[in-house]
Amino acid sequence: MSALAASAAVFPTNTTLTELLSNKDGLLSFGQVLNNVATMQPQLSFMEKYWASWYMYMNNDRLATGVMFFLLHEFMYFFRCAPWFIIDNLRFLQKWKIQPTKKPSAKEQLHCLKSVLLSHFLVEAIPIWTFHPMCEKLGITMEVPFPSWQKMTLEISLFFFLEDMWHYWAHRLFHYGIFYKYIHKQHHRYAAPFGLAAEYAHPAETLSLGFGTVGMPILYCLYTKNLHLFTLCLWITLRLFQAVDSHSGYDFPWSLNKFLPFWAGAEHHDLHHHYFIGNYASSFRWWDYYLDTEAGPEAKMEREERMKKKNN
Ligand SMILES: [Zn+2]
Ligand SMILES: [Zn+2]
């Protein structure tokens, strides 16, 4: 692979600029590359400068995308889990814990942490490291400047909708017979979930439910031939935040579901872990509402009332 081809992702139409900015001999520090990018491309935004500098500094697009995705996933996951560790130890916030009598012990949390780390390095590392060649084939771009905020917001909203739909049906299937017994049972080890338990799952579950997160944008790109890798980074970060928050075990007066009534949040998913049935969707409440699969005693009572009325 030539030096030019090794870092051609961010300025694909400007080979002179790529040649000038590339860290070909690996002698420049990241700060020096960033300085060069800022001098030659002052019109770029703060994030775009860092993005372009990363690819130029690494001088190997495949490695740059792989390392970036792996670090993004690790950092965002644990960054979002950390506040819940702290909140678990703040007494004045315990009145908002959904299942206050069930607290995970330090031993349980350590077991979960070890399992999640093993899964990150063995299971999730594979698709992350093979991501760049797939992006090249699909035409997912890494160029700067990024697409507009409006385009990215629309695409991320669509991904939330599609992932939620996939999650509802795949998760519902995981509650049937052998799928539950041999695969999904692992995720239900904790009847009162906590943030870190979001990705505590059998590898087959991680890969199949993960299709909703990665596969849906791929299908979108196959159809539109127009998707930016930065949009994917934002989407994966927000999806990670959603997954960790829904397992947090806390429902605050300021939680998102209090402002967006169709947002699922922790209250929705906690009931799923508590009763082992119902509330299969990830981000939104509509699938469980319209298909009558809401979990918990209140939903059960409503269902029974409706049945009575129907039979009279
Ligand atoms: Zn389940
Ligand atoms: Zn769960």
Residues 132 and 153 occupy one common structural domain: yes
Alpha carbon distance 240, 254 (integer Å): 20
220 and 158 in contact (C-beta within 8 Å)? yes
Token reading at 237: 């970060």
User: What DSSP designation does 8 have?
Assistant: -
Residues 87 and 198 occupy one common structural domain: yes
Report how many domains make up the chain. 2
What is the 167 CA–ligand 2 centroid distance (Å)?
Answer: 11
Residues 11 and 137 occupy one common structural domain: no
Ligand nearest to the CA of 175: 1
Ligand nearest to the CA of 193: 2
Residues 167 and 232 occupy one common structural domain: yes
Residues 50 and 86 occupy one common structural domain: no
Contacts of 174 (CB under 8 A, 6+ apart): 180, 183, 184, 205
DSSP string, 157-199: HHHHHHHHHHHHHHHHHTTSHHHHHHTGGGGGG-SS--GGGGG
Chosen domain end from 9, 33, 59: 59
Residues 42 and 103 occupy one common structural domain: no
- Work out the widest C-alpha separation in the chain, in whole angstroms: 81
Give the residue carrying structure tokens 């969707």: 281
Ligand nearest to the CA of 183: 1
Residues 186 and 283 occupy one common structural domain: yes
Ligand nearest to the CA of 279: 1
Q: Average pLDDT across each block of 10 residues of the chain; the chain has 312 residues. List them in order.
A: 60 88 88 95 96 94 91 93 90 91 86 91 79 89 95 98 97 94 92 89 91 95 94 96 94 95 94 92 96 86 79 72
What is the 188 CA–ligand 2 centroid distance (Å)?
Answer: 7
Q: What interhelical angle do 61-87 and 46-58 show, nearest 10?
A: 130
* H or E segment to which residue 141 belongs: strand 140-141
Alpha carbon distance 205, 116 (integer Å): 13
What is the 273 CA–ligand 1 centroid distance (Å)?
Answer: 7
Residues 192 and 304 occupy one common structural domain: yes
What is the 281 CA–ligand 1 centroid distance (Å)?
Answer: 10
Ligand nearest to the CA of 172: 1
62 and 133 in contact (C-beta within 8 Å)? yes
What is the 81 CA–ligand 2 centroid distance (Å)?
Answer: 14
Ligand nearest to the CA of 179: 1
Residues 102 and 225 occupy one common structural domain: yes
Residues 71 and 10 occupy one common structural domain: no
Ligand nearest to the CA of 184: 1
What does each C-alpha distance from 278 to 44, 131, 269, 275 come to in angstroms?
47, 34, 9, 8
197 burial type by CB count under 10 A (0-12 exposed, 13-18 middle, 19+ buried): buried
* Closest CA relative to residue 266, chosen from 255, 253, 278, 254: 255
What is the 32 CA–ligand 2 centroid distance (Å)?
Answer: 44
Q: Is 249 left (phi over 0), alpha (psi -120 to 50) or beta?
A: left
Q: Tell me if residue 43 falls in helix, strand or coil.
A: coil
Phi, psi of 29 (to 5 degrees): -85, 165
What is the 4 CA–ligand 1 centroid distance (Å)?
Answer: 48
What is the 184 CA–ligand 1 centroid distance (Å)?
Answer: 7
Chosen domain end from 59, 82, 106: 59
266 and 248 in contact (C-beta within 8 Å)? yes
Chosen domain end from 59, 85, 108: 59
Give the pLDDT of residue 223. Answer: 93
Residues 193 and 295 occupy one common structural domain: yes
What is the 309 CA–ligand 1 centroid distance (Å)?
Answer: 30
Partners of 30 in beta bridges: none
Ligand nearest to the CA of 270: 2
pTM as predicted: 0.91
Domain that holds residue 296: 66-311
Residues 143 and 54 occupy one common structural domain: no
Partners of 140 in beta bridges: 227
Neighbours of 207 (CB within 10 A): 15
Alpha carbon distance 197, 9 (integer Å): 36
Give the pLDDT of residue 6. Answer: 60
What is the 276 CA–ligand 1 centroid distance (Å)?
Answer: 6
Q: Which amino acid is at 51?
A: W
